[in-house]
């Protein structure tokens, strides 16, 4: 994989159009997925500022869909009538930073929006999403290489030398910051880009609505695109209170860890890319009822849909969870089981629906 990536990186610019031309040869379903996902990935929306992503989702909905936005900013689409009510939810937001202050030297003080390692951003390009347009910058490297101490807080430099000059560029406290990003098509059906969590889930729900046969639907299905998932499931909590105990099931459509990389140990997350979606059935905060997992597996098999069942366990609960994980793996025929404790946004969303 490393060699392939390097070869792609070394291709001359003149070859790039021919790679793009390959997309025209895709089957319609793949072409639709690429088109929807690329638009969502290349739209910015840090937690609390999901408006642009929500607008993209609304623009990509089928013409018959009637979308509503609740007081939290969640986007809802209801289809069909009657029980049982089934809900699908994906989140709109992405991780990033928010400007908390501007220093006298013009640099920006930050707070994180979501959980991640700030060190990964050091010396990387930055993009300040200001009111009058994006302002480029750089995440300032911190003094952490030669001494053992807690590094100072991460800051951003937008090329100015005074607070006044920074503000003159339109930057102010409250603006959000990300890295620049781009959706890049790789070989086959693979792609790469930042914020796949959870633009992939948002795209999946859009594609499902486009293909939904409403004439045979015998109950109500609700699609929700939630806000502020990365900073505490705020949108999901509002939606859960609005729905109460009405839904029969709630399916959180989100990402899953995978060790399908030359950089990861195989036992980190055995979920090979290309072998089907992963149904998260067990982790350190929730256990999906066995009947629900079995039902999903039966549906996937009957329709020829590749499916993996994922389990994650924390160290303190691994021993008690192994029997449960075992039947889940036997039921699906394939199991994705990361050994280190990992808590994904799927499990956190399920927790919000239970409260």
pLDDT mean values, one per 10 residues, the chain (355 residues): 31 39 75 94 96 97 96 97 95 97 97 90 96 95 72 93 96 96 89 92 96 94 96 93 92 86 75 87 79 90 91 40 38 42 34 33
pLDDT of residue 17: 42
Same domain flag for 167 and 284: no
How far is Cα 54 from Cα 41, in angstroms, rounded to an integer? 12
Same domain flag for 225 and 289: no
Same domain flag for 113 and 169: yes
SS3 for 173-184, per residue?
Answer: CCCEEECCCCCE
C-beta separation of 191 from 54 below 8 A: no
Provide φ and ψ at 201, rounded to 5°: -65, -40
pLDDT of residue 195: 94
DSSP 58: H
pLDDT of residue 354: 33
In a domain, 161, yes or no: yes
- Tokens (6 digits) for 165: 């000059």
Domain boundary among 127, 145, 178: 178
Structural domain of residue 211, as residue ranges? 28-94+195-255
Element (H, E) at 299: helix 290-302
* Total of domains in the chain: 3
pLDDT of residue 334: 46
Strands 133-139 vs 125-130: parallel, antiparallel or unpaired: antiparallel
pLDDT of residue 311: 76
Same domain flag for 244 and 135: no
In the beta sheet, which residues pair with residue 112?
97
Same domain flag for 62 and 78: yes
- Tokens (6 digits) for 35: 């088109």
In a domain, 2, yes or no: no
- pTM, two decimal places: 0.80
pLDDT of residue 24: 66
pLDDT of residue 23: 62
Domain boundary among 203, 230, 255: 255
pLDDT of residue 319: 31
Same domain flag for 236 and 173: no
C-beta separation of 19 from 185 below 8 A: yes
Other Cβ atoms closer than 10 A to 165: 15
pLDDT of residue 148: 66
Same domain flag for 83 and 152: no
């Amino acid at each position: 994989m490393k060699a392939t990536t390097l070869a792609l990186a070394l291709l001359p610019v003149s070859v790039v159009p021919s790679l793009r031309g390959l997309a025209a040869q895709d089957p319609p379903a793949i072409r639709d997925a690429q088109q929807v996902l690329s638009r969502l990935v290349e739209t910015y929306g840090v937690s609390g500022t999901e408006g642009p992503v929500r607008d993209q989702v609304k623009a990509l909905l089928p013409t018959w869909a009637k979308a509503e936005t609740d007081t939290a900013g969640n986007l809802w689409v209801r289809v069909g009538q009657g029980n049982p009510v089934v809900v699908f939810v994906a989140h709109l937001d992405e991780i990033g930073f928010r400007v908390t202050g501007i220093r006298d030297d013009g640099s920006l003080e930050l707070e994180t929006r979501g959980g991640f390692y700030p060190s990964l951003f050091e010396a990387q390009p930055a993009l300040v999403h200001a009111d009058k347009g994006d302002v480029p910058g750089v995440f300032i490297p911190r003094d952490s290489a030669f001494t053992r101490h807690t590094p100072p807080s991460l800051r951003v430099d937008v090329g100015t030398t005074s607070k006044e000059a920074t503000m003159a560029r339109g930057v102010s406290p409250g603006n959000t910051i990300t890295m620049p990003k781009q959706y890049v098509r790789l070989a086959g059906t693979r792609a790469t880009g930042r914020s796949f969590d959870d633009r992939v889930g948002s795209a999946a729900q859009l594609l499902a609505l486009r293909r939904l046969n409403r004439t045979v639907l015998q109950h109500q299905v609700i699609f929700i695109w939630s806000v502020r998932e990365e900073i505490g499931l705020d949108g999901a909590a509002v939606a859960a209170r609005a729905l109460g105990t009405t839904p029969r099931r709630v399916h959180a459509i989100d990402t899953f860890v995978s060790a399908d990389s030359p950089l990861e140990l195989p036992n980190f997350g055995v979920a090979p890319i290309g072998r089907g979606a992963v149904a998260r059935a067990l982790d350190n905060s929730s256990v999906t009822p066995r009947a629900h997992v079995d039902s999903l597996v039966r549906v996937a098999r009957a329709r020829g849909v590749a499916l993996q069942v994922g389990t994650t366990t924390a160290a303190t609960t691994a021993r008690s969870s192994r029997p449960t994980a075992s039947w889940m793996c036997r039921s699906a025929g394939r199991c994705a089981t990361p050994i280190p404790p990992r808590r994904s946004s799927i499990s956190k969303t399920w927790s919000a629906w239970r409260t």
